Amino acid sequence: MTETTSGWASARHRRSITWIVALATLAMAFDGYDLVVYGTILPILMADPSQIGAISAQQGGALGSYALVGVMVGALFTGAVGDRLGRRKMMLVNIVWFSVGMGAAALSTSLTMFGLLRFFTGIGIGGLVATVGALVAEFAPQGKRNLYNAIVYSGVPAGGVLASLLAIGLRDAIGWRGLFWVGALPLVILLPLALVKLPESPQWLLVRGRTDEALAVSEKFGVPLPTSAPAPVEKVGFAALATRRYALGTALLGLMSFAGLLLTYGLNTWLPKIMADAGYDAKGSLAFLLVLNGGAIVGGLLASRIADRAGGPQRVIVTTFFLAAVALTLLTFGFPLPVLLAAVAVAGVGTIGTQVLIYGFVSNYYETSARAAGVAWCAGFGRLGGIFGPIIGGFLIGAGLSNNINFYIFAGIAVAGALVTLLVPAVRASRAAAPTPTTAAPAQA
379-426: per-residue pLDDT in tens?
A: 888 878 877 877 777 777 777 777 778 788 889 999 999 999 999 998
CA–CA dist 131, 16 (Å, integer):
18
**Which residue type, as a one-letter code, is found at position 206?**
L
Range of the domain at 375: 11-202+236-427
CB burial of residue 85 (10 Å; 0-12, 13-18, 19+): middle
Which of these ranges, 120-134, 275-289, 297-311, 349-363, has the smallest mean pLDDT? 275-289
Greater pLDDT, 87 or 237: 87
| DSSP state string for 38-52 | HHHHHHHHHH-TTTT
- pLDDT in the model for residue 227: 65
pLDDT at 236 exceeding the cut of 80: no
Q: Which of 115-119, 235-239, 265-269, 384-388 has the highest mean pLDDT?
A: 115-119
Q: How many helices (H) and strands (E) does the chain have?
A: 17, 0
User: Among 381, 341, 389, 342, which residue's Cα sits nearest to residue 358?
Assistant: 381
List the single range of 26-35, 73-82, 90-99, 166-175 with lowest mean pLDDT.
73-82
Confirm if 288 and 275 have CB atoms less than 8 A apart.
yes
| Confidence (pLDDT) at 443 | 37
- Most confident among 71-85, 242-256, 316-330, 426-440 (mean pLDDT): 316-330
Calculate mean pLDDT across residues 58-69.
Answer: 80
Residue 173 has pLDDT above 90, yes or no: no
pLDDT at 6: 56
Q: Please report, for the domain that includes residue 141, its CATH number.
A: 1.20.1250.20
Core vs surface per residue 191-219: b (16+ CB within 10 A) or e:
eeebeeebbbbbbbbbbbebbebbbbbbe
What amino acid occupies position 148?
Answer: Y
Phi, psi of 411 (to 5 degrees): -65, -40
340 belongs to a structural domain: yes
Sort 172 into a burial class: Cβ within 10 Å, 0-12 / 13-18 / 19+: exposed
Asked whether residue 208 is assigned to any structural domain, the reply reads no
Q: Which range is most confident: 45-59, 75-89, 318-332?
A: 318-332
Residue 440 lies inside a defined structural domain of this protein: no
pLDDT for residue 439: 38
Q: Please report, to the nearest 10 degrees, the dihedral formed by the alpha carbons of residues 14, 15, 16, 19 taken in order.
A: 120
Q: Between the CA of residue 64 and those of 101, 270, 303, 394, what are the distances in Å?
A: 15, 10, 29, 10
Question: What confidence score (pLDDT) does residue 438 get?
Answer: 39
Q: What residues contact 40, with CB distance under 8 A and at least 6 apart? A: 163, 164, 167, 171, 179, 272, 286, 289
Angstrom distance (rounded) from CA 355 to CA 129: 12
Per-residue pLDDT, averaged over 296-307, amounts to: 85
C-alpha 411 chain-centroid distance: 21
Please give the average per-residue pLDDT across 94-101, as a whole number: 93
Residue 326's Cβ-side half-sphere holds a number of Cα atoms within 13 Å equal to: 12
In a domain, 83, yes or no: yes
CA distance 132 to 419: 27
- In this prediction, residues 305-323 reach a mean pLDDT of 88
Query: How many other CB atoms are found less than 10 A from the CB of residue 26?
Result: 20
Domain count, the chain: 1
pLDDT of residue 440: 41
Q: Phi-psi bin for 338: left (phi > 0), alpha (psi -120 to 50), beta?
A: alpha
State the Cα–Cα distance between residues 292 and 201, nearest whole angstrom.
Answer: 34
Interval 41-69 mean pLDDT: 82
- Residue 230 CA to residue 206 CA, distance in Å, equals 7
Q: Does the residue 211 lie in any domain?
A: no
pLDDT for residue 108 is more than 50: yes
Q: What is the dihedral of CA 112, 158, 124, 255, to 10 degrees?
A: -90
435 SS3 class: strand
- Tell me whether residue 442 is in a domain: no
Confidence of residue 182 (pLDDT cuts 50, 70, 90): very high
- Is pTM beyond 0.85? Reply is no
Mean per-residue pLDDT over the chain, rounded: 82
pLDDT band at 432 (very low <50, low <70, confident <90, very high): very low
Please check whether residue 125 lies inside any domain of the structure: yes
Contact 424, 257 (CB under 8 A): no
Predicted confidence (pLDDT) per residue in 197-232, tens digit = 999 988 888 888 888 998 998 888 888 887 665 555
Separation of first and last alpha carbons in the chain:
9
Torsion of Cα atoms, 134 then 139 then 143 then 147, to 10°: -60
d(CA 435, CA 165): 52
pLDDT recorded at residue 120: 94
Distance between alpha carbon 271 and the CA centroid of its chain, in Å? 19
Whether residue 298 lies inside any domain: the answer is yes
Calpha distance 24→129 (Å, rounded)? 9
Q: What angle do CA 136, 32, 240 make, to 5 degrees?
A: 40
Residue 435 has pLDDT above 80, yes or no: no
Contact between residue 123 and residue 97 where contact means Cβ atoms under 8 Å apart: yes
User: Cβ atoms within 10 A of the Cβ of 426, count?
Assistant: 9
Q: How many CB atoms lie within 10 A of CB 56?
A: 11
φ and ψ at residue 438, rounded to 5 degrees: -80, -10
- Mark residue 25 as left, alpha or beta (left: phi above 0; alpha: psi -120 to 50; beta: remaining): alpha
- pLDDT over 60 (residue 340): yes
Who wins on pLDDT, 206 or 268? 206
Q: What is the pLDDT of residue 185?
A: 92
**What was the pLDDT predicted at 274?**
74
